[in-house]
Structure 1
Amino acid sequence: MAKRRIRIGIGGWTYPPWRGTFYPPKLAQSKELEFAASRFGAIEINATFYGRQSPKSWAAWAAAVPDGFQFAIKGSRFCVTRPRLADAGEGIGNFLAQGLNALGPKLGPILWMLAARRKFDRDDIAAFLELLPRELDGIPLRHVIEPRHDSFRDDRFFDLCRARDVAIVFGDDDEFPCIEADTATFAYARLQRMREEVPTGYDKASLDAFARRARRWQKAGRDVYMFMINGAKIRAPAAALALQERLR
């Protein structure tokens, strides 16, 4: 089996406070994605949660990043905020039909983020997972789900995800529970407790611990995606670079 890969990344690439801190001062805004993708192995796209993107945008994003890079895509809110997830089939189909197949092998995991109020309902979650296709126009699809209610800390949920090779987000978060379970051939972490007073967002001990965790997941035969997302977002690139340096 080929060695599993660890990809470290950030959430998005358009953030004005990064200009002059992460991005060179005179870098054209149109070159920011290209610059960020040259530094990291993945970027999580948040805009797809709120609305459709044009086919032109998907093609441009694919052209701007190097081979081996991947985008993680946040699934549409119209799929995950309905009363019954089992009714999301049409929405999932529309979401996947918007043009993201233009990414080809640069298409990474699709993240389905559940509402904080949603409690675990075994039958509804099972039906939702069955709606998630395994491929799109010949491109293998990976799905990851982020439950934000403690009722999902349930072996029945883990078994459902394991049967479909769906990862569960490892979330370092002050507000929502961290549910760690090995359910897929890949691991997906969203690290959200950066502090602005720490130049690297997280302190040395935390970064060392995340690096050890990533190596442990990789050694267990899982690809790894780790994103610096929220908290003091201005520190996200520095945090991701510091973590990446530990993993070289």
Structure 2
Amino acid sequence: MPTSLRRAPQAHPEDSLPGVVTRTFTTTGDLDYWASVRHAESAARVAEELATLVRTGRAAVAREPLAHAVELLLSTLDHADDASGALDNLLNRLLATHAEACRQALPDPVDLADWLVTVQFDTGRWCPVDIWAYGPALGPGGLDHYRAAVRRRWAADPGDLSARDAVERLARWERDTTTLIEVIGGDLKHAAQYGRLARALADIGDPVAARSWAERGLAAHPDDPPGAGLHDFLSRTPL
């Protein structure tokens, strides 16, 4: 049949979407490699239906089902062989679509901040969130609430990599030089820490501070061991 005559996939009624998401994204038991791939393919069809709603001005309808889909998929990833990356790719698509839905149909900013903290820290699996995508929906009040929450997590356990990542992502987005120095530099025992800090400061548009920390790194580690790249960084970063 010619492509133009094929029937478009039937969309679910909007009021049925919460149930559709629950049925589609809920799994039981362990998923092996191929079961994970099949689940990703099946769930992707519903994810695309939700994305279509967002693209066509019905973000308010899709926002909560998207959030629930993220939560269920994180639960599935805890017991799935996702060596193909299919489930992880689907998770990233859902998060990007959910962020767009939140920008179009603003939720309560504190509720959104709490949800972001939950999916990053309380689902049993590390789920990095691109805070820049959610920042416009959070607004000043939501960002303050989110910042306080992730910093509390990091203060309670400085070795928690998920908390450190959340603090660093927020600092990068807010161009917060002081926090970047704190979270990336840390104890500055190793040359690589200086190199990573210098590159992060350059990324947020602070080349003066970036060069300063690279120079400090070279003073402390004149051999510039592999992985630090301090000489190379200074040669590529103008005064």
Q: Fold-level match, TM-score > 0.5?
A: no
Higher relative contact order (CA 8 A, sep 6+): 1
More strand by share: 1
More helix by share: 2
TM-score (norm 2): 0.31
Of structures 1 and 2, the larger Rg is shown by 2
